[in-house]
Amino acid sequence: MDIAVVVPVFNESVALPRLLQALKAEPRMLESTCEWLFVDGGSTDNTVTLLQNAGYRVIPSTKGRAWQMNTGAAQSSQSVLLFLHADTLLPADALNLIVKALDEQHCWG
């Protein structure tokens, strides 16, 4: 299942290192079926640099969480969208749990 994780960011240089480290520790989160979209609302710290140096796609957007999430969703080519805050870590088996829930016909909006 193709999953896009959309992360709205704005001046997240304090929170991002923890998230980026967690992603490195969980290779399944980085596989080709999981697309990571970091949507920046005009950060003035080193948020964009941190993400680009880690190899992530950063999409510029109008500031505002809803604008940023909608921008990320519009840029994604995946069939499932997961919206995540930069200061939130997913459990190691998050992708498996999402796939299982969708296979069981659970739906969220």
At 41 the pLDDT is 98
In this structure, the chain runs to a length of: 109
Residue 109 has pLDDT above 60, yes or no: no
pTM, whole model, 2 decimals? 0.88
Using one digit for the tens of pLDDT, what is the confidence trace for 10-53? 999 999 999 999 888 776 666 666 889 999 999 999 999 999 99
Which domains are delineated in the chain? Answer: 3-103 (3.90.550.10)
Buried b (16+ CB within 10 A) or exposed e, 68-105: bbbbbeeebebebebebebeeebeeebbeebeeeeeee
Distance from C-alpha of 38 to C-alpha of 100, rounded to nearest angstrom? 25
At 106 the pLDDT is 65
Using one digit for the tens of pLDDT, what is the confidence trace for 52-69? 999 998 999 999 999 999
Distance from C-alpha of 60 to C-alpha of 41, rounded to nearest angstrom? 6
